[in-house]
Amino acid sequence: NRLSNDFQFIDVGRRDPQKKDARSRAKEFAEIYEPYKPSEAASQAHRCLHCGNPYCEWKCPVHNYIPNWLKLVSEGNILEAAEMSHRTNSLPEVCGRVCPQDRLCEGDCTLNDGFGAVTIGSVEKYITDTAFAMGWRPDMSNVTMTDKRVAVIGAGPAGLGCADVLVRNGVKPVVFDRYPEIGGLLTFGIPEFKLEKHVMERRRAVFEEMGIEFRLNTEIGRDITFEQLNDEFDAVFLGMGTYKYMVGGFPGEEMDGVYKALDFLIANANHHLGFEQDSVDYVSMAGKRVVVLGGGDTAMDCNRTSIRQGATSVTCAYRRDEENMPGSKREVKNAREEGVEFLFNRQPVAIVGEGKVEGVKLVRTRMGEPDDKGRRSAEVVPGSEEILACDAVVIAFGFQPSEIEWFDTHQIEVDERGRVLAPEIPAQMERFAYQTSNENVFAGGDMVRGSDLVVTAVYEGRQAAEGILDYLKV
Ligand code: FAD
Ligand code: SF4
């Protein structure tokens, strides 16, 4: 019997889901991986060794019960696997698609020692997609609603994680977002070749059925004041992300033909979703030589979006080497296959052109000593300047927390980098997890930890909800 074989990992190698060929996928805004067939998911899940101390679980930021749901999938028990995976994660189908598994769960799989890690992310995605297709919905039959109501500002992964845990514990979440659809960066930042938009549309329907209310196209501070929310609700959760651009500080950044990464991606998403307000906001790279500056996930998404829009060439310049690049290795590989060229150890010093972009001036760098996070710095090689000719430049240097003017009036304190102070483990006994300096206000996700990952935002939103439940004595 194949499924009773404990040494399945020897007979069956790691097999990722089938990937569409690079030439055809580079023309469309659609996910590049095919779904697993049930037999593939079962045999890949059965490769798990069920280690006594599963490192994958520790490394997964939400501490998913990975070996347990892998076992259920290997037995064909998808609905129970879905129930179990939702005990720790509010968006497992999203994390399965976009987590950088190579440095999280799969990076710590014991089978990484020569056999190839279990395809944890792809199985996680398979579980939820299949369960939803079978009509499964989270079981809310044991939930009794209390009279408590919490306002959640931001429908990104942090806000959604918070709302999910609140509603499952009988507290009514009302989620406000300035955008016309839920998801935050999942909908308006991450492009469809990583996460198709119907995934969040389906999730919205499921959340609404569970009792979460969404009030979209509503910006707090503009359409509704924070005071109104604070008066109307028993507590407030802030999951507003980080939207202030980091700039390079070199000449030419304001030149015609230079675009900010997120503006470029959001305009592209709005164009495809039909939310476009003004067609001039949409930037097409068709027929252009594009240079993307940066080495993170945002830069990778700009590279691959430009390719799909029909750029004649896309070059990604990054100041460190490939080893020290922050982006997921899988996404760098996908970008390369689709035709993106990488220039490592190149730092921009100016954008040049007469009125509009004609090129980027780069200097070479070499790797220096590691910093306090273990990442090696880039040192400039004197006299190594060169100009890379191009028609458009996308700047993807990352984000810092936005400056919110109503924080001061409501005693919501931030640190020296603008991140909201909301510790997971409070310093005093009478304080709660992820509570801010205003006792009625909790916070989590990028605005607390700085730009990070979907899964860490989900984790913080969920943990903050636990803090809110304790605070409200539910
Ligand atoms: P967000 O997702 O930013 O959501 C915040 C929400 O708050 C937004 O919807 C915003 O409209 C709303 N909001 C803000 N202010 C107000 C207000 N005043 N009133 C009402 N609503 C408001 N992570 C990964 O794990 N894998 C990836 O592949 C990946 N790719 C990425 C690609 C790009 C281009 C970017 C930019 C990020 C990527 N990330 C990725 C990071 C990830 O998307 C974020 O870490 C995550 O979305 C943070 O979640 P959040 O809920 O804290 O904030
Ligand atoms: Fe891995 Fe992310 Fe899923 Fe955790 S949530 S098991 S890190 S893919």
Question: Domain with 358 in it: what CATH number?
Answer: 3.50.50.60
Residue 195 CA: which ligand 1 atom is closest? 28
The answer to whether position 391 is within a domain reads yes
Backbone φ and ψ for 300, nearest 5 degrees, come out as -60, -40
Question: Strands 258-260 and 213-215, how do they pair?
Answer: unpaired
Same domain, 129 and 21: yes
Per-residue pLDDT tens digits for 427-460: 888 899 999 999 999 999 999 999 999 999 999 9
Asked whether residue 144 is assigned to any structural domain, the reply reads no
CA of 303 to the centre of ligand 2 (A): 25
Q: How far apart are CA 137 and CA 142, in angstroms?
A: 14
Domain-terminating residue out of 397, 417, 440: 397
Q: Which of 133, 159, 181 is the last residue of a domain?
A: 133
In this structure, the residue with its CA closest to atom 40 of ligand 1 is 453
Centre of ligand 1 from the C-alpha of residue 375, in Å? 24
**298 Cβ below 6 A of ligand 1:** yes
Query: In this structure, is residue 274 part of a structural domain?
Result: yes
- For position 428, what pLDDT does the model report? 87
- Does residue 449 form part of some domain? yes
Residue 192's domain comprises: 149-243+400-471
Query: 84: CA distance to ligand 2 center in Å?
Result: 14
Give the angle subtended at the CA of 59 by the CAs of 398 and 40, to the nearest 5°.
100
What single-letter DSSP state applies at residue 134?
T
The parts of the chain modelled with pLDDT lower than 50 are 1-3
What number does the ligand 1 atom closest to the CA of 452 have? 45
Nearest ligand, measured from the Cα of 405 = 1
Kindly state if the Cβ of 111 falls inside 6 Å of ligand 1: no
For the CA of 176, the closest atom of ligand 1 is 20
Check if 240 has its Cβ closer than 6 Å to any atom of ligand 1: yes
- Considering the domain architecture, whether residues 175 and 73 belong to the same structural domain is answered as no
What would you report as the CA-atom Rg of the chain, rounded to the nearest whole angstrom?
23
**How many whole angstroms from 160 Cα to the centroid of ligand 1?**
11
Do residue 128 and residue 162 come from a single domain?
no
Q: What is the pTM of this model?
A: 0.95
Q: Does the CA dihedral 314-317-318-323 come out positive or negative?
A: positive
Residues 372 and 442 occupy one common structural domain: no
- Measure 330 CA to ligand 2 centroid, in angstroms: 15
From ligand 2's centre to the CA of 228, what distance in Å? Answer: 37
Looking at the fold, whether 382 and 254 belong to one and the same domain comes out as yes
Residues 194 and 224 occupy one common structural domain: yes
Q: Is 155 in the pocket of ligand 1 (CB under 6 A)?
A: yes
The pocket around ligand 2, CB under 6 angstroms, is made up of: 60, 62, 64, 66, 89, 95-96, 99, 101, 104-105, 120-121, 124, 455
CATH number for the domain harbouring residue 128: 1.10.1060.10
Q: Which ligand is nearest to the CA of 449?
A: 1
- Please indicate, yes or no, whether residues 393 and 408 belong to a single structural domain of this protein: no
Task: Give the DSSP letter of residue 356.
Answer: B
- Residue 142, in any domain of the structure: no
C-beta 177 within 6 A of ligand 1: yes
3-state SS class at 313: strand
In a domain, 140, yes or no: no
For the chain, percent of residues with pLDDT exceeding 90: 88
**Residue 277 CA, ligand 1 centroid: distance in Å:** 21
435 shares its domain with 332: no
Report the C-alpha gap between 140 and 171 in whole angstroms: 13
Whether residue 415 sits in one domain with residue 325: no
Q: Measuring from atom 9 of ligand 1, which residue has the nearest CA?
A: 184
**Residue 144 exposed, middle or buried by CB count within 10 Å (0-12, 13-18, 19+):** exposed
Are residues 174 and 89 part of one domain? no
Atom of ligand 1 nearest to the CA of 298: 34
Domain membership flag for residue 139: no
Q: How far apart are the first and last CA of the chain?
A: 49
Q: Are residues 58 and 103 in the same domain?
A: yes
Residues 102 and 235 in one domain: no
Q: Which atom of ligand 2 is nearest to the CA of 106?
A: 1
Check: complex ipTM more than 0.90: yes
Measured distance CA(464)–CA(83) in Å, rounded: 22
**What pLDDT is recorded for position 238?**
98
Boundary of a domain, candidates 397, 428, 448: 397
Domain count, the chain: 3
Does ligand 1 have an atom closer than 6 angstroms to the CB of 98? yes
pLDDT at 6: 66
- With respect to residue 141, please indicate whether it lies within any of the assigned structural domains: no
